[in-house]
Structure 1
Amino acid sequence: MPTIWLVLVLIALSVAGFFLGRSRALASANGNPKNLHSLPSYYGHNVALSALVPALAILAAWLLLQPMLVDTRVSNMIPQEAVPEGTTLGLVMSDVRRVAEGLDIAVAQGAMTAEQARNLRTEFSDVRGLLGEVGVALGADVRPEVMRAAQAYRTMSNTGTTIMTIVVALVAVGGFAWSYGRTHKDFRARNVVEQGIMALLIIAASLAILTTVGIVLSMLFETRNFFTLHSWTDFFFGGTWAPNFRGDSELSILPLLWGTFYVSLIALLVAVPLGLFAAIYLSEYASAATRSFAKPLLEILAGIPTIVYGLFALLTVGPALVRFFGQGEDGILGVEWMTGATSVLTAGLVMGIMLIPFVSSLSDDIINAVPQAMRDGSLGLGATKSETVRQVVIPAALPGIVGAVLLAASRAIGETMIVVMGAGAIAKFSANPLEAMTTITTRIVSQLTGDTDFASPETLVAFALGLTLFVLTLGLNVLALYIVRKYREQYD
């Protein structure tokens, strides 16, 4: 049974459990809700949750673990000689999964029977033609061992799915029967339901925390593996970034840090003044009608995908800067300072535009939080509106504004698509904003693009870069939250 149908069956069973549990509780009280320990809906919720929650938990865990277990078992079936030179086991496993998927599609479309799919004995060229008819594309030729692995993969996956369906259905029916049998007028349904909801809330909070811990630990372990293959002194103190998958790589983070900070600095120079001035106008000078129209319009910028900003940088801002700085005598300035559309200035300008609503929205909320009594006192002493804003409101809101700027800086440091398309891919030290450079996030994308076996320093360096970026952004976020919290304690 497809997973979506299994989920729909569980939801239907849960809905039925709600009404049946509620009816059983009322029947045990002779139809009088006053004789029940809890409200009738609690009895229905108890049956519904007992049938749904354990089954969904097992379903989620099964769907998470089964692919990993099947991949591990099937990959062990592929001999080393079946892996062509120049490729990796991961690439072979991709073909295995595609063949298995193609066999499933062929069976579903009637191109072959399930028995034929299990006992397929033919040349791979014939299999390629069969699967091509059902729309499955394969890579290089695969040996018979890989075909057998694909058949085993399909068999294990289908068997696991069947067992999963049976187990989940039994758990759902068992939970339904157990909770329905306990339903009577003296049953403390409210206490049980509230405890169950509390447990779900705790589990949700724990999952969020454990996910963060898991992400950090995964980066730590892979970073440790990287430093066993590459010198940490070269990574932290070297001056060259030159990955070479044939060996002798120079993998220093310093040129990437310089490019990251340079692009982020230009972005902040654009975003902070514009965002702060917009926030001051909206909070102190704009009428209610203007504010209700301008603020949502300004925050639309925050909803634009970053890939769109990247295209804007590559196709509009970059060529405009080239016409201004880089066409020699035919250009506007008559100079040849810029040779291509990708540069630090291109990415910084567009990233700054992206950060404007981030800075303005946070600063607007912080400025509005300044007590009105401070404004009234300043105006009562004879200060003008502009003097009140400059000498009272902004100094009072300054800690919060600094926190907003730091949060914007962490957002800029972690940006990827804009710098991928607008900044270039050259890792170097340069103070010229019209030259192409690269950042940490760009190099992470580059090092992990394509099929990788995570066994070379050129691949594992992405995790060291990611961990360094995580520490930088975490430090900025902690500092910003500390400043904002201190500000709120002062004025709340």
Structure 2
Amino acid sequence: MTLTFALIAVLLIAAVAGFLGRSRARAVRDGARLNSLPIYHGAYGFLWALVPALLFLAIWSPLQGRLIEDAVLSTPQGQALPAFDMARDAITSEAYEIATGQREAGFNPESTALAPVYQQFINRYGGIGGGFAILLALAGAAWGLTRVRANFRARAGVERWLMGLLIAASMIAILTTLGIVLSLLFETLRFFSMVPASEFLFGTQWSPQMALRADQAGSSGAFGSIPLFWGTIFIGAIIAMIVAIPLGLMSAIFLTQYAPAKVRSVMKPLLEILAGVPTVVYGYFAALTVAPAVRDFGLSLGIPASSESALAAGLVMGIMIIPFVSSMADDSIAAVPQAMRDGSLAMGATRSETIRKVVLPAALPGVVGGVLLAVSRAIGETMIVVMAAGLAANLTANPFDSVTTVTVQIVQLLTGDQEFDSPKTLAAFALGLALFVITLILNLIALTVVRRYREAYE
């Protein structure tokens, strides 16, 4: 029995339980007045049959894979496999794919011989897990059907189930965030046990390449993160914002204050399409169109310009985040009461003066919050920087030079097969934790600004 078959059986049992619960409640209603509608009695039986069984399958599914692997390796065929982990993993992976029908034969003869053993334990543990899930569904269905009575508050029971599911969903999100933070923190502490925190936080040289022997050149890497964070700020928080803030804010002002309704209904969706363009497309645009143009522009001014520059990446990144700034500014400006505009115009102010002295000050908290959220989005961008700004960790204020960012270096450090016991690889976790803290601080500042200076209008 496979877990897929068990899942289908559980769904059928739950559907039958819901139908029978509703039917029995209708039969009871003919002789007495029900506390809850028949549909709630059916939903109560459906949830009791479905949720516990699905929860068990969700727990058993990853556990089953580990049990099968341990059982296979404990057999004589498994113990005869090579001791080298990579070779053994390749053989067991091929054997599992053969056993599950994903391929007909493997490259290693051992995998073909091991496939029947895998098939045996897959059937055994699949039968155990699937059978228990079906029994659990039947027990839940029976319990739900026994509760069908005239005075039973089935609606309250269904609401308790739904409340529990909502709490579980929120706890999954919270625990996932906590797990990410703890994993980053644990690996970061390992990194700081090898590299001083002062060097990482205040160093100005970034060269994480570690030699295999002490007599090789560059046997000790440099892990100063200042060039990386400066490149992140330079591209995402300076150049990109110089592009995004004026264009986004002026777009929002035009669409809310000047554009006719028909023009706004067309231009606003077109503007928001920019938010749905994949970042790799922006990266191609930056590398093939903007970067050569920026280089030629710099050379025409007599400034040495790299083919991969901070200016090219920042310009395209600014275009990418225009919808974030424009959307938040649009909502904030639209929330300003029309009476304030009419009062300003009635006192003799022009439309532009009303916008500058009445509308924008009233909408400023939302605009600032949108800008900070856009900065958080920009400093986490990777593809545009990889394709347009380069990989060189330069501490420079020249926008025509090549720079890199934190996210790009994380990708470089974790690309390929890596052993997580060297400072080079663990540096990626330290960079990730620092970037997480910076982004969190920016988001908290944005929320604080919006809440503190938000105006409530009737």
**Superposition TM-score, scaled by structure 2 size:** 0.90
Residue by residue, what CA displacement relative to the aligned partner does 1:401-421 show, whole Å, maximum 9, x if unpaired?
111111111111111111122
Aligned twin of 1:480: 446
The alpha-carbon distance between structure 1 residues 335 and 236, as it changes in their structure 2 partners (threshold 3 A), is same
Matching of residues 65-464 of structure 1 within 5 Å: 65-67=63-65, 82-83=83-84, 89=85, 91-92=86-87, 94-105=89-100, 125-126=108-109, 159-246=124-211, 247-264=219-236, 265-326=238-299, 333=300, 335=302, 337-340=304-307, 342-464=308-430
Report the 3-state secondary structure (helix = DSSP H, G, I; strand = E; otherwise coil) of the residue aligned with 1:370: coil
Tell me whether 386-395 or 187-196 shows the greater mean CA deviation: 187-196
Report the 3-state secondary structure (helix = DSSP H, G, I; strand = E; otherwise coil) of the residue aligned with 2:321: helix
Report the 3-state secondary structure (helix = DSSP H, G, I; strand = E; otherwise coil) of the residue aligned with 2:150: coil
Within 2, Cα distance between the matches of 1:465 and 1:80?
39
Within 2, Cα distance between the matches of 1:176 and 1:219?
43
Question: Gaps (5+ residues) in structure 2?
Answer: 212-218
Aligned twin of 1:17: 17
8 Å CA contact retained: 1:75, 1:93: no
Within 2, Cα distance between the matches of 1:19 and 1:351?
55
**How far did 1:11 drift?**
2.4
Tell me whether 238-247 or 296-305 shows the greater mean CA deviation: 238-247
Identity of aligned residues (%): 49
**How far did 1:59 drift?**
1.4
Aligned twin of 1:121: none
Residue by residue, what CA displacement relative to the aligned partner does 1:387-443 show, whole Å, maximum 9, x if unpaired?
100111111111221111111111111111111222110112011111211100001
Aligned twin of 1:59: 57
Check if 1:469 corresponds to 2:441. Answer: no
The alpha-carbon distance between structure 1 residues 368 and 200, as it changes in their structure 2 partners (threshold 3 A), is same
Within 2, Cα distance between the matches of 1:75 and 1:216?
34
The alpha-carbon distance between structure 1 residues 488 and 14, as it changes in their structure 2 partners (threshold 3 A), is farther
Within 2, Cα distance between the matches of 1:73 and 1:437?
51
Within 2, Cα distance between the matches of 1:161 and 1:258?
53
Within 2, Cα distance between the matches of 1:320 and 1:239?
30
Report the 3-state secondary structure (helix = DSSP H, G, I; strand = E; otherwise coil) of the residue aligned with 1:419: helix
The alpha-carbon distance between structure 1 residues 475 and 339, as it changes in their structure 2 partners (threshold 3 A), is closer
**How far did 1:60 drift?**
1.4
Within 1, Cα distance between the matches of 2:79 and 2:445?
51
Report the 3-state secondary structure (helix = DSSP H, G, I; strand = E; otherwise coil) of the residue aligned with 1:275: helix
The alpha-carbon distance between structure 1 residues 93 and 403, as it changes in their structure 2 partners (threshold 3 A), is farther
8 Å CA contact retained: 1:346, 1:423: yes
Within 1, Cα distance between the matches of 2:335 and 2:436?
31
The residue type paired with residue 364 of structure 1 is D
Residue by residue, what CA displacement relative to the aligned partner does 1:87-117 show, whole Å, maximum 9, x if unpaired?
xx4x4565245323332255x77x58xxxx9
Within 2, Cα distance between the matches of 1:409 and 1:69?
46
**How far did 1:475 drift?**
0.2
Question: Gaps (5+ residues) in structure 1?
Answer: 84-88, 118-123, 131-146, 327-332
The alpha-carbon distance between structure 1 residues 40 and 346, as it changes in their structure 2 partners (threshold 3 A), is same
The residue type paired with residue 7 of structure 1 is L
**How far did 1:204 drift?**
1.3
Within 2, Cα distance between the matches of 1:69 and 1:461?
34
Within 2, Cα distance between the matches of 1:50 and 1:11?
12
Aligned twin of 1:48: 46
Within 2, Cα distance between the matches of 1:478 and 1:80?
53
**How far did 1:152 drift?**
7.0
Residue by residue, what CA displacement relative to the aligned partner does 1:324-367 show, whole Å, maximum 9, x if unpaired?
334xxxxxx27462232x21111111111110001000110011
Residue by residue, what CA displacement relative to the aligned partner does 1:152-209 show, whole Å, maximum 9, x if unpaired?
7776555433322122111111111121122232322111111111111111112211
Report the 3-state secondary structure (helix = DSSP H, G, I; strand = E; otherwise coil) of the residue aligned with 2:272: helix
Tell me whether 452-461 or 73-82 shows the greater mean CA deviation: 73-82
8 Å CA contact retained: 2:44, 2:158: yes
**How far did 1:58 drift?**
1.3
8 Å CA contact retained: 1:100, 1:154: no
Residue by residue, what CA displacement relative to the aligned partner does 1:417-475 show, whole Å, maximum 9, x if unpaired?
11122211011201111121110000111111112231111111111100000000000
**Superposition TM-score, scaled by structure 1 size:** 0.84
**How far did 1:487 drift?**
3.1
Query: Aligned-pair RMSD on alpha carbons?
Result: 2.8
Within 2, Cα distance between the matches of 1:320 and 1:78?
62
Within 1, Cα distance between the matches of 2:229 and 2:118?
44
**How far did 1:4 drift?**
4.2
The residue type paired with residue 297 of structure 1 is L
Within 1, Cα distance between the matches of 2:67 and 2:423?
27
Within 1, Cα distance between the matches of 2:119 and 2:396?
54
**How far did 1:47 drift?**
0.7
8 Å CA contact retained: 1:406, 1:477: yes
The alpha-carbon distance between structure 1 residues 426 and 62, as it changes in their structure 2 partners (threshold 3 A), is same
**How far did 1:13 drift?**
2.3
Within 1, Cα distance between the matches of 2:317 and 2:329?
18
Report the 3-state secondary structure (helix = DSSP H, G, I; strand = E; otherwise coil) of the residue aligned with 1:208: helix
Residue by residue, what CA displacement relative to the aligned partner does 1:108-159 show, whole Å, maximum 9, x if unpaired?
77x58xxxx9xxxxxx75458x7xxxxxxxxxxxxxxxx97x8877765554
The residue type paired with residue 396 of structure 1 is A
